[in-house]
Structure 1
Amino acid sequence: MRFVTLALLALIGLVHAELWFGKGGVSRVMELQGKLAEQKATNEAARTRNAQMDAEVRDLKEGLEMVEEKARYELGMVKPDEILVQVSTPRK
């Protein structure tokens, strides 16, 4: 009976030691949690930067199209090698 108790205590000690000092122990888990937090912060900063760049690109694309449209309709500007055809509706 005494031998069984000592063997079980030794096994529990080995399992406990593996938990604290082993390959997947507490120190490794804490290290990985720190790296995960850093990566999440990096990803969030990248998401913010990407959203800003996306908004800037959309503004530039839409802004240029709007400027071109105004120049065509209000000022009658045309691109090189382009023929301008204006159709007007009769006034009533």
Structure 2
Amino acid sequence: MRVFAVALTLLFACLQYDLWMGKNGIADYRSVAGEIEVQQQVNNNLHVRNQEMFAEIDDLRQGLDAIEERARHELGMVKDGETFYRIIGEENRS
């Protein structure tokens, strides 16, 4: 009977080791769960960025105001008869 108890204890210890440290055990589960959490955050950030891009695309398709705003801001275009003033703050001076 004593040999049987020792054998069961050893079997239990081996199964516990496999459960906690073995392949697909608790340690692997925790690391994969952490990776999933990080990937979900990345996916959420990309989803927000995509939604902003789709809104900008819709805005560009629907109106000329967005095109004019983009041309003025990114390309520095000025209409005929307009005067363009650029004001530089203290933090931008080198």
TM-score where L is the length of structure 2: 0.63
Determine the structure 2 residue equivalent to 1:3: 3
TM-score where L is the length of structure 1: 0.64
- Report the 3-state secondary structure (helix = DSSP H, G, I; strand = E; otherwise coil) of the residue aligned with 2:24: coil
Structure showing greater Rg: 1
- Does residue 23 of structure 1 match 2:23? yes
- Does residue 36 of structure 1 match 2:36? yes
Deviation by residue 1:42-68 (Cα, 9 ceiling, x = unmatched): 00000000000011111111114xxxx
- Please tell me the residue identity of whatever aligns with 1:22: G
Deviation by residue 1:24-49 (Cα, 9 ceiling, x = unmatched): 12221121111111100000000000
Gap runs ≥5 in structure 2: 65-94
Provide the rounded CA distance (Å) in 1 between the counterparts of 2:62 and 2:29.
Answer: 48
Provide the rounded CA distance (Å) in 2 between the counterparts of 1:9 and 1:25.
Answer: 20
Aligned positions of 1:49-88 closer than 5 A? 49-64=49-64
Q: How many residues end up aligned between the 2 structures? A: 64
Gap runs ≥5 in structure 1: 65-92
Provide the rounded CA distance (Å) in 2 between the counterparts of 1:37 and 1:56.
Answer: 29
- Report the 3-state secondary structure (helix = DSSP H, G, I; strand = E; otherwise coil) of the residue aligned with 1:24: coil
Determine the structure 1 residue equivalent to 2:73: none
| Percent identity between the two aligned chains | 34
